[in-house]
């Protein structure tokens, strides 16, 4: 099984087990032709290291070689498991998720301007321009909004990994949008079916809806 890069995320459902929301641990792979495929949708209670370790070990047992790049949010469980199972794989933090986290540190009156500055970083035409934009963001907001700049500085290297790959792939690998877009329909359906499905039924529906969404 060959996957040049993988995107990982936890998709939460409306079902609960012992007051904890159940989620599906999802991995989507992209091959050398750019084709996207669901590689794994596993049952989980939360995005723990052990849960992601089990997912990655199953993928490895099915013959998946180490991807060149893995894209995900800041969930520590996935990255800890990835380093253990596929230690040579580069890490890319999702810019959409990072942008939301940073903006949450700003007062609402400052968010629009800060958002433009953040977008200027990861939409820059070169890595050098992106690094300059990164430094400018820190210099602009460090004194007044230190919490936001600390959040932005976290995972600096992992946020910039996509610039080391060919430019035609940047749009696809700087965020985990492949999962977000595919699961928009799933989140809508699972919210409406809250309490009406069993654990297995929920996973089955998520898998089928994911297959349909993946065709686009």
CATH dotted code for 5-93+175-214? 3.30.420.10
137/140 Cα distance (integer angstroms): 5
pTM: 0.82
- Contacts of residue 34, defined as CB under 8 A and 6 or more positions apart, other chains included, come to 172
Residue 60, exposed/middle/buried by CB under 10 A (0-12, 13-18, 19+)? middle
For residue range 172-193, what is the model confidence (pLDDT) as tens digits? 899 887 666 656 555 555 555 5
Q: Indicate the domain borders of the chain.
A: 5-93+175-214, 96-161
Instruction: DSSP letter for 209, please.
Output: H
Sign (positive or negative) of CA dihedral 194, 210, 8, 173: negative
As to burial, measured by CB atoms within 10 angstroms (0-12 exposed, 13-18 middle, 19+ buried), residue 116 is exposed
157: pLDDT confidence band, cut at 50, 70 and 90? very high
Which tens digits make up the pLDDT trace of 113-152? 999 999 999 999 999 999 999 999 999 999 999 999 999 9
């Amino acid at each position: 099984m060959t996957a040049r890069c993988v995107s990982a995320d936890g998709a939460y459902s409306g079902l609960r087990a012992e007051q904890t929301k159940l989620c599906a641990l999802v991995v989507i792979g992209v091959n050398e032709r750019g084709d996207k495929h669901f590689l794994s949708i596993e049952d989980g209670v939360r995005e723990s290291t052990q849960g992601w370790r089990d997912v990655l070990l199953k993928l490895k047992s099915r013959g998946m070689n180490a991807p060149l790049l893995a894209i995900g949010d800041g969930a520590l469980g996935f990255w800890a498991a990835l380093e253990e199972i596929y230690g040579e794989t580069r890490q890319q933090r999702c810019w959409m998720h990072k942008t939301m986290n940073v903006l949450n540190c700003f007062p609402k009156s400052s968010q629009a301007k800060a958002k433009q500055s953040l977008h200027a970083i990861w939409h820059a035409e070169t890595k050098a321009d992106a690094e300059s934009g990164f430094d400018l963001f820190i210099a602009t907001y460090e004194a007044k909004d230190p919490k936001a700049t600390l959040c932005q500085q976290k995972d600096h290297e992992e946020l910039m990994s996509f610039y080391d790959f060919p430019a035609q792939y940047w749009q696809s690998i700087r965020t985990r949008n492949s999962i977000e877009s595919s699961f928009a329909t799933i989140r809508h359906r699972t919210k409406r079916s809250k309490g009406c499905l069993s654990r297995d039924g929920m996973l089955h529906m998520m898998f089928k809806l994911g297959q349909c969404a993946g065709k686009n």
